[in-house]
Amino acid sequence: MTEESIDGIKVNGRSYRKPTARTVVICFDGCDPRYISHGLSAGLLPNISKIMSEGFFAIADAAMPTFTNPNNMSIVTGAPPKVHGISGNYYLDKATGREVMITDASLVSSGTVLAALADAGMRVAAITAKDKLRKMLGSGLKGICFSSERAREATLKENGIDEVERLVGRPTPDMYSPDLSLFVLDAGIRLLETRRADVLYLSLSDMVQHSAGPGEELADSFNREVDRRVGRMLELGALVAIVADHGMTDKCTPDGQPQVVYLEKALNDQFGPGSVRVICPITDPRRP
């Protein structure tokens, strides 16, 4: 439920003031605190360091389960999954027994802060790296909402914007590249520079974090590029907030061997054959 007061809005039982400055919220997907601590010590993050020293910094618990969909939705609704309705990246359809990837807003059961701010007269933009999250974040949103994955396909009718590649100045990036996230940030910067949005929610991909740990070249170069773009947003006078949807843990033992537990087998061994079915929630939809 959304209510509007004289100077703010109320969404899902929480009150929010309307921003008085242009505001950017970056969901730094998979950014475990260790990436930040390493980046600070290595001098990779001067702009994020400035935000931490002059603003606010804390380590917070993620919503459960710690997947991309539930936590992005918890960020934009200010509520847990039991309120907004997105409890995973997949769900098991009891009627058909099929594993169904959540790629639209059909299960969203609450309003979002983004939609409420737009209804209150603010120009709002939500940009995601992967398209599978876009429709959830854009639930009820009267504004700009597109993904870098399908930037070239954006239309005024569907996304509130067109010619995104021309806006950003380069083609739609490969889905499995660091540039998928950097394109999101660059698009946000262009919306700020062209004064087309007052509030921006920019959701990145964790491709890099799944591929490289703190101190590895891929992670360091990516985080350096993210920080540079944060600096540009600050130069443009934006209030910038950065939050992660979840962290990362090592998937190998100290000797480099994969640390894998086949949960379905372990649970069925304990509770009996066929008692449990485990579905794999971290995949991307197939493109035609």
Residue ranges and CATH numbers for the domains of the chain are 22-251 (3.40.720.10)
pLDDT for 101: 86
* Dihedral over Cα of 70, 285, 163, 190: its sign: positive
Q: Are 243 and 26 in contact (CB under 8 A)?
A: yes
Q: How many CB atoms lie within 10 A of CB 150?
A: 18
Q: Shortest CA distance to 160 belongs to which of 129, 104, 200?
A: 200
For residue 8, the cross-strand partners are 17
Nearest-angstrom CA–CA distance, 166 and 180: 16
Which residues are 90's β-sheet partners?
Answer: 101
What value does the mean pLDDT of the chain take?
A: 92
pLDDT at 89: 83
Picking from 190, 86, 97, 180, the residue whose alpha carbon sits closest to that of residue 139 is 86
pLDDT, mean of residues 5-28: 91
Residues 142 and 81: their CA atoms lie apart, in Å, by 23
Q: Which of 12, 195, 191, 192 is nearest to 114 (CA)?
A: 12
Coil vs helix vs strand at 113: helix
Q: DSSP 3-state assignment of 180?
A: helix
Give the C-alpha separation, 121 to 137, whole Å: 18
- Give 273's pLDDT tier (boundaries 50, 70, 90): very high
Q: How confident is the model at residue 83 (pLDDT cuts 50, 70, 90)?
A: very high
Which pair of tokens denotes residue 126? 């939500």
Answer for the pair 149, 142: CB distance below 8 angstroms, yes or no: no
pLDDT tens per residue, range 190-221: 999 999 999 999 999 999 998 999 999 999 99
Range name among 97-101, 177-181, 200-204 with the lowest pLDDT average: 97-101
- Which stretch of 59-68, 133-142, 169-178 has the lowest confidence by average pLDDT? 59-68
